[in-house]
Amino acid sequence: GAVVSQHPSRVICKSGTSVKIECRSLDFQATTMFWYRQFPKQSLMLMATSNEGSKATYEQGVEKDKFLINHASLTLSTLTVTSAHPEDSSFYICSASAPGSEQYFGPGTRLTVT
């Protein structure tokens, strides 16, 4: 199957700072990328859907000014958590898809805000 990477795999940041997470599709062009958040022992919650070159579509209840998503190319999407707080600590997972294909998931990024 196709490969999707995320960087970093783990990050610890101080409260009030911003942190950027990258999601890359390594061997295919991803027209659509999805960002999920997963709390311990819980399901994946879709945060937003981004199409290359367009503004992301955020799910209800997700603050778009806090979680900035950029999908500038067919192989890269970034999620920036701005002014992070401890309650933003979570496991963030991206997925990528091309037209007619399944979603390929990245390995996830563990964010800890101290």
Question: Site for another protein (CB under 8 A): which residue of 13, 22, 28, 44?
Answer: 44
Structural contact between residues 112 and 8, judged by C-beta atoms closer than 8 angstroms:
no
Q: Can you list the alpha helix ranges (DSSP code H) found in the chain?
A: none
Angle at the Cα of 55 (from 51 to 59), degrees rounded to 5?
85
Q: Binding-site residue total for another protein (CB under 8 A)?
A: 22
What span, in angstroms and rounded, lies between the C-alpha atoms of 88 and 113? 7
Binding track, positions 21-40, relative to another protein; x by CB under 8 A = -----------x-x------
The residue (of 15 and 38) whose beta carbon lies closer to another protein is 38
Report, in Å, the least distance between residue 37 CB and another protein.
Answer: 12
How many Cα atoms within 13 Å fall on the side-chain side of residue 38? 14
In the complex, the residues that contact another protein under the rule CB under 8 A are 1, 4, 6, 32, 34, 41-44, 46, 49, 93, 95, 97, 102-108, 110
